[in-house]
Amino acid sequence: MESTGDRIKAVLLRVPRGRVTSYGGVATIAGIPNGARTVARILHSSSASDGLPWWRIVRADGGIALSPGAGLEEQRAALEAEGVRVDEGGRVDLGEFGWYGSPRD
């Protein structure tokens, strides 16, 4: 049986280049209702070791969750390098760049 962490990581690895999704969106696709904090913990602890595309995950409102000087600039640069526009307030238009994959895609 696949663990919660494995299911979350599998979804994270499917977020396409040039698209974003939310912490809660990842949890929902992974079948873990109310699991947004679990997604954040996995990203914090496993992004580097598991090659997870942490920069493609934003808040439900499209905003970058990281603060200036604590990763916001790095996430913005990584998103922009993939063609994702980030506005001056650190938000991504989810209507244009959002990914809402299903468990099977």
Domains of the chain, earliest start first:
4-92 (1.10.10.10)
Exposure letters 62-76 (e unless 16+ CB within 10 A, then b): bbbbbeeeeebeebb
| Angle (nearest 5°) at CA 93 between 41 and 80 | 75
Quote the crossing angle between the two packed helices 36-50 and 4-12, to the nearest 10°.
70
pLDDT mean by block of 10 residues, the chain; 105 residues? 91 97 96 95 95 97 94 96 96 96 58
Q: What is the pLDDT of residue 101?
A: 87
pLDDT score, position 102 = 59
**By the 8 A CB rule, do 58 and 22 touch?**
yes
pLDDT at 95: 96
Q: Which residue has the tokens 């997604």?
A: 39
User: What pLDDT does 25 receive?
Assistant: 96
